[in-house]
Chain A
Amino acid sequence: MTFFFEVLIAGLLSGMLYALVALGFVLIFKASGVFNFAQGAMVYFAALTFVGVGEKLLLWLGWAPGSFASFLGSLLVTLAAMVVLAILIERFMLRGLVNQPLITLFMATIGLTFFIDGLAQLVWGSNVRGLDIGIADEPVIWLLDSANMLVSKFDLTAAAIAAILVALLSLFFQYTKTGRALRAVADDHQAALSIGVPLERIWVIVWVAAGVVALVAGLIWGARNGVQYALSFTALKALPVLILGGFTSIPGAIVGGLIIGASEKLAEVYLGPYVGGGIDSWFPYIMALAFLLIRPEGLFGEKHIDRV
């Protein structure tokens, strides 16, 4: 039973990461209806930039990776890079595709994925690197003593960071003027315009927000598994999360992420051995599909009947 819980908790914690990536999707989808396939690439881009800047800081200024100065320096530069990226995306991609069907925008973001992946590796190189954010990956002692469970301190911290980020975003959407404008855009583009917020600005803001979420996800994931190209793919697991949670719901993204993370790990441990293992490559997708057949509108979505 302890083992079951260990697996479950590990699953939930990695689910938190899926949820983080999914959150980036939801932000952009809510505000612009764009399904941003490049969210995973943005995670990779952010992590790689962070590490790359860290290397340069060591080289030029002698700041050791993992030190506070290096962390802060890398963080600020990467944040700036995410802002610039968002502006460029708005200027050179979104603006040209304003009244196109959403599926066209979706395909454009697939192109964007390739572009960002290529750019990141061109600038920083594609070799796998470690990322140190100063939290040790060791078991939490009192859990080990009291319940004999192995739960990583790192995972717990990561989950806490993710939770804080989600809370901040929710507050932002609820209580700031820009946040409310964003929600208005999601409901109705015309209405948002009449509040007097230019659409371009809104897009840049959501893409920046998604970039920040990508950065956090990239840092945690990179620190866990190393910064490598596979990050861009693993992030695709956020897609089944979205199907479960619905494309527009922040709580949906989180619950969906937790469900996918937990069931993926449980399936791998308990079903995997019967079929040769490695099923986590497809299990989330098939599960999301099965779920879709039962409830096409997702966990939190509303049933919708096309109007004619």
Chain B
Amino acid sequence: MARTIGDVILDLQNISLSFGGVKALTNISFNVRQGEIRSIIGPNGAGKSSMLNVINGVYHPQEGRIIFMGKERRKMNPHEAAAQGIARTFQNIALFKGMTVLDNIMTGRNLMMKRNFLWNALYWGPAQRDEIAHRKRVEEIIDFLEIQHIRKVPVGRLPYGLQKRVELARALAAEPKLLLLDEPMAGMNVEEKQDMCRFILDVNEQWGTTIVLIEHDMGVVMDISDRVVVLDYGRKIGDGLPNEVKNDPEVIKAYLGAVY
């Protein structure tokens, strides 16, 4: 399927965020277009994760405007963001440890499951039909990410790489319009990284999901991103096509210089 990149669906304007005295983000603006893979890079502590947390309402910036799908908001809870179609994974795995892989992924569909608890207590009629219908969707995602064999395993027992994949599955189960990935390949070996890259590209191509990606591996970033934002000490120091960013002297000085 040919990829099409559309209009701006997420526009961040002059975002500033601080914790006590620490300025995590200073006056940052950038946008994300429908269907693209947008990467955020920067050295440790640059404010990348904070940026994602601002986008889906985990942190509330002191200043700035966030416009998602044409609607502006100042303050919003994470679950409202989820209801609007934003899903994410975390830098440090945030799976539900006491639950199986299947149940973890099923939670991704909670927003769409409207039967109230009385129906569920009976597990009868519509409640059962609901559960089964959503299970079918979840099985598709399980097939897509090739994790059939671990379906019934408690996530705590899985190796790190698979846990990251389950986290992606949980986010995908919500059928998001915008998917935020915080270092999805950190700590993986080459093979696992390649798998994860493939999944991300497939999600983007087959389902047209817009993706914002934080990643330290420059090779990966340059390969799969459409556009890249560079942060350093909470400021934006670069923004553009992978090639432009790569050759920007300021970016090289602050960040890439160390790598290349």
Contact = CB atoms under 8 A, between A and B. Distances in A.
Query: A and B: direct contact (Cβ < 8 Å)?
Result: yes
Interface in A279-308: 305, 308
Nearest to B92: A308
Contacts of B59: 305
Contacts of B58: 308
Interface residue SS majority, chain B: loop
B34 interface: no
B29 interface: no
A308 B58 CA distance: 9
9 contacts: A305-B19, A305-B59, A308-B49, A308-B53, A308-B58, A308-B90, A308-B91, A308-B92, A308-B94
Interface of B: 19, 49, 53, 58-59, 90-92, 94
B38 to A, nearest CB: 20
Interface residues of A, number: 2
A305 to B, nearest CB: 7
A308 B53 CA distance: 8
Contacts, number: 9
A308 B214 CA distance: 14
Contacts of A308: 49, 53, 58, 90-92, 94
Nearest to B90: A308
A53 B93 CA distance: 55
Interface string A78-90: 0000000000000
B128 to A, nearest CB: 34
A305 B57 CA distance: 13
Contacts of A305: 19, 59
B79 to A, nearest CB: 14
A289 B94 CA distance: 30
Interface in A183-219: none
Given A305-B59, A308-B53, 7 more contacts: A305-B19, A308-B49, A308-B58, A308-B90, A308-B91, A308-B92, A308-B94
A292 B27 CA distance: 34
Contacts of B92: 308
Nearest to A304: B19
A41 B92 CA distance: 40
B124 to A, nearest CB: 35
A269 B53 CA distance: 50
Nearest to B19: A305
Nearest to A308: B90
Nearest to A305: B19
Contacts of B91: 308
Contacts of B19: 305
